Chain A
């Protein structure tokens, strides 16, 4: 049984920061820890080189300084982009996209609840007409969150038409926020990615889309970047949601995603409970990661 460690690098870094001085092993350990957190070889090299330069500049040999520098460096990198959700339009349409099994439906349930807590009226569109029982799964979440839902009339209905009907109804009933679920799709499937473009186009006939959220699974490795790039191209992603941070995965690849694409992380999911979704704060994230 794996020990239930908090979601953090602290375990991997503990030995390193407990030492008296910074030596060659420290750098190797640091590099290993970052790679194991899925930062990827490129970003890892960058971070390590950056820290080496800083340590040399400040003539420090204290690992505690190194820890602080690492934390601050990560925080600075993560906070370069604005992670505020833009939901001021009425209705504010939010499209949720991602590959299969990253937790889109669950995220929507939690997000709806999150918005309901602030007393916003929410309408959910079940445009995942492909996966078996996805609509039912979403309906259960909508009920838990206290949100309305628009379901497809028939199995396998065109998702774009469900999206259209959802927005139409939101406008008619004056609902403030619309969240639209889409079927999971691997970014390599050209036809399915085109379908997303179509959904976007159809929605925009009625109302501008406020946010397109790409859901990324923290356990994903370097493929996360390929996912982000494809979804940005086809769906015009405006924000990232990082899910499953309650596991042992660190999700380091989001830093590469954020830096390469310029799309900020906006929400963080940390469990299967309905309240396990929070806004993204670089400070807290870096603090928890480095310890």
Chain B
């Protein structure tokens, strides 16, 4: 989900010049601010928001806090980060459930924003949390929107209330009202009302939306907006705010390469929080929106927390602890390597995960080329080895390698590469186990780490930087919630980094944009 990837790239380019300087002059600041303005406009952030944003950044960058700082450039990065978080809505907000069920959620937005699909995603997400949602088909405008909602409901395993066939027949206000009554009778605790797409300038349709709202008195009105939208985001958002007064925003199609400036614009102009992000076509591609993480992603610090969370979900904690022990006792074997890799696959799309790593913006091309079946091939190779070979890779001589290659349908070269990768991984893990460096991806002690590294390292040390702060917070949460798992939490994250690292160690270590040479090396690592 390299949503703001392009914006990250632009800002990274901007800050490259700043980072090398010891002191900031007013001219430096102006130049940087101009670049930020350009980058934000290119990212479709609304003009008014850009003006406001750059003015804030400029003022603070010229202030005392920067000129007295040890590293002014870093300070500017910090300011931009803070301002982004501020605009994106600071803290994450959760859905507010009604005290007396059912909780009524109404969806509204432009045509083609993705409301119907989102209705299904939201329903599935709620159902997974133990709720009993029902979908109400109040989009009677678009041909067969009702049918689409029924199909989506079926996919999500959620009932759909659709008394009218749609295609212009029926009154959406009545349907919405009846839908809520129906839900009360059948004891559903959440009602999701899908409405027709409408333009902000269409007074009649906006009035209809307001009528629906009045009829059902929803607890949440979610404004669904396409991440690709341009400057019109503000006009549209305002029209919907005046028309139906939404309580939260959902950003869709974040899996594309749109720079997603709309997120900034809408949050800033309406003061309503972005609550969810929709990141793909499958009904599971849906997650709560984290403003602070998104800001870090804009700054290309990577979405480390989401990554760790996903890793924690997929990694078996016992496994992780065993693994951590193995690092320390230096008995890491190919079997463990295999097990780790299989766990990685459980974590879902590796591509998705890799794109959350800091510096991954520059790696997008490589990510696209990375073939997940590569893991299957690796599995085949390891499984073609005998027990003894797996525990003692030193045994692998030429004829054994030839046998393994034949057995797994690969070539000796591929077997050699795998063994090499394993040795690298084992070596790195040893270093880590001894040094105790919590190897969050992107901060790993990789050779050839670009210009981004010193800055990140510093932030870590001072505990003032966001990643460090958040990592600490996260650790606190982890230890608070499940004390037994707290110890394992850090190695778990590490396991991830090195599971990946073992296969493509270059990835986390290159936040600063790899050189051609490094790219070539990486290609090799990826087994190409």
Q: Report A's interface with B, CB cutoff 8 A.
A: 1-2, 4-5, 32, 35-38, 40-41, 99-103, 109, 130-134, 136-137, 139-141, 186-190, 217-224, 226-227, 244, 246-250, 253, 272
Contact of B230 among A32, A189, A220 (CB under 8 A): A220
B114/A250 in contact, CB under 8 A: no
Assembled-state Cα–Cα distance A249/B38 (Å)? 21
Chain A residues within an 8 Å CB radius of B140: none
B38/A4 in contact, CB under 8 A: no
Overall SS of chain A's interface? loop
18 A-B residue pairs with CB within 8 Å:
A1-B243, A2-B201, A40-B41, A100-B281, A101-B113, A103-B111, A136-B147, A137-B142, A137-B145, A186-B255, A187-B256, A219-B226, A219-B229, A221-B259, A222-B42, A244-B112, A247-B200, A250-B232
Most chain A CB inside 10 Å of its own CB: which residue of B43, B114, B233, B258: B258
Q: Say how far A11's CB is from chain B's closest CB, in angstroms.
A: 10
Chain A, Cβ-Cβ closest to B120: A132
Chain A residues within an 8 Å CB radius of B258: 221, 223, 226
B112/A217 in contact, CB under 8 A: yes
User: Known: A141-B143, A221-B258, A248-B200. Is A132-B229 also a contact (CB below 8 A)?
Assistant: no
Q: Say how far A204's CB is from chain B's closest CB, in angstroms.
A: 26
A247/B201 in contact, CB under 8 A: yes
Assembled-state Cα–Cα distance A247/B197 (Å)? 12
Assembled-state Cα–Cα distance A221/B242 (Å)? 23
Does B64 touch A at the CB level, under 8 Å?
no
Q: Say how far B521's CB is from chain A's closest CB, in angstroms.
A: 23
Chain B 359-402, CB within 8 Å of chain A: the 1/0 string? 00000000010000000000000000000000000000000000
Chain B residues within an 8 Å CB radius of A249: 230-232, 235-236
Chain B 32-48, CB within 8 Å of chain A: the 1/0 string? 00000010011110110
Q: Say how far A37's CB is from chain B's closest CB, in angstroms.
A: 7
A133/B151 in contact, CB under 8 A: yes
Most chain B CB inside 10 Å of its own CB: which residue of A187, A219, A250: A219
Query: How many positions in chain B have a CB within 8 Å of any CB in the partner chain?
Result: 54
A32/B47 in contact, CB under 8 A: yes
Chain A residues within an 8 Å CB radius of B148: 131-134, 136-137
For residues 219 through 248 of chain B, which have their beta carbon under 8 Å from a beta carbon of chain A?
226, 228-233, 235-236, 238-239, 242-243
Chain A, Cβ-Cβ closest to B110: A219
Assembled-state Cα–Cα distance A35/B152 (Å)? 38
| Known A101-B253, A219-B110; further 20 A-B contacts with Cβ < 8 A | A1-B206, A1-B243, A2-B201, A2-B239, A4-B201, A99-B256, A101-B112, A131-B148, A133-B147, A133-B150, A134-B148, A186-B255, A218-B232, A220-B226, A220-B228, A222-B43, A222-B259, A224-B230, A247-B236, A248-B239
B143/A137 in contact, CB under 8 A: yes
